[in-house]
Chains A and B, each alone.
Chain A
Amino acid sequence: DSGVTQTPKHLITATGQRVTLRCSPRSGDLSVYWYQQSLDQGLQFLIQYYNGEERAKGNILERFSAQQFPDLHSELNLSSLELGDSALYFCASSVLAGRQETQYFGPGTRLLVL
């Protein structure tokens, strides 16, 4: 158990809908990262927040947005969902935001868009 929690564990929804994935980082970690794992792709970095501020952005679609709240939990919002958004979404956290920081991964949310 990494100490990172994600809810829900599974989510089934329809195309066009909007969902929110939630992540609580390890106690004391200020940085939160979101990743997408699709069927035929490796882990793809989406976005990083550090202490409430966006720090780095990856291949995140405009239909997706995220934020980190004052209590440091983070939410990833996915809207106008398409079949191709079906994937495993991981959240990770680290103490600080440096390149050498170990990232601790949550259990993931498996999203299925029908």
Chain B
Amino acid sequence: ILNVEQSPQSLHVQEGDSTNFTCSFPSSNFYALHWYRWETAKSPEALFVMTLNGDEKKKGRISATLNTKEGYSYLYIKGSQPEDSATYLCASPQGAQKLVFGQGTRLTINP
């Protein structure tokens, strides 16, 4: 069974501060690593799909890095804003197609 783990489970950050959190996954048979953002009362929204070791992707103030050899990915948020408050999920495919999701990091930005 593929275990995808995220830490921390929750995080409170002051508005304007930068933050980061981690997704760990088994490094063997790596296919891809997905990041999603899930706001309360909405549905998960895709942020990034990462496939190559050393990959770095950016979307506005959010960026992510990938290390497939050691099995981790970091998500960074620069200059946090209240609208960044959400649960951030990572997921990795197991077997043919199915995505295995981590439990998420719940981020709260304090104004």
For residues 76 through 91 of chain B, which have their beta carbon under 8 Å from a beta carbon of chain A?
89, 91
With A103-B46, A104-B46 already in contact, the answer to whether A97 and B97 are too (CB < 8 A) is: yes
Shortest distance from the beta carbon of A44 to any chain B beta carbon, whole Å: 8
- A102 partner, pick from B34, B89, B93, B96, beta carbons under 8 A: B34
In the bound complex, what is the Cα–Cα distance between A4 and B44 (angstroms)? 12
Determine whether the beta carbon of B46 is less than 8 Å from that of A56. no
Contact of A99 with B by CB under 8 A: yes
In the bound complex, what is the Cα–Cα distance between A90 and B46 (angstroms)? 14
Determine whether the beta carbon of A48 is less than 8 Å from that of B98. yes
Shortest distance from the beta carbon of B16 to any chain A beta carbon, whole Å: 30
For chain A, the count of residues having a C-beta within 8 Å of the partner chain is: 25
Shortest distance from the beta carbon of A55 to any chain B beta carbon, whole Å: 6
Determine whether the beta carbon of B100 is less than 8 Å from that of A99. no
Determine whether the beta carbon of A55 is less than 8 Å from that of B96. yes
Residue picked from B89, B97, B100, B103, most chain A C-beta under 10 Å: B97
A residues less than 8 Å from B44 (CB atoms): 43, 90, 105
Contact of A106 with B by CB under 8 A: yes
In the bound complex, what is the Cα–Cα distance between A44 and B4 (angstroms)? 12
Q: Which residue of A lies closest to B50 (CB)?
A: A100
Determine whether the beta carbon of B99 is less than 8 Å from that of A45. yes
A residues less than 8 Å from B104 (CB atoms): 42
Q: Which residue of B lies closest to A106 (CB)?
A: B43
B residues less than 8 Å from A38 (CB atoms): none
With A42-B102, A99-B32, A100-B51 already in contact, the answer to whether A107 and B97 are too (CB < 8 A) is: no
Give 1 or 0 for each of B28-62: 1 = CB within 8 Å of chain A CB: 00011010100000111110010100000000000
* 13 A-B residue pairs with CB within 8 Å: A55-B96, A56-B98, A98-B97, A99-B32, A99-B93, A99-B97, A100-B32, A100-B49, A100-B51, A101-B49, A102-B46, A105-B43, A105-B45
Closest 7 CB pairs of A and B: A99-B93, A105-B43, A99-B31, A43-B101, A45-B98, A100-B32, A102-B46
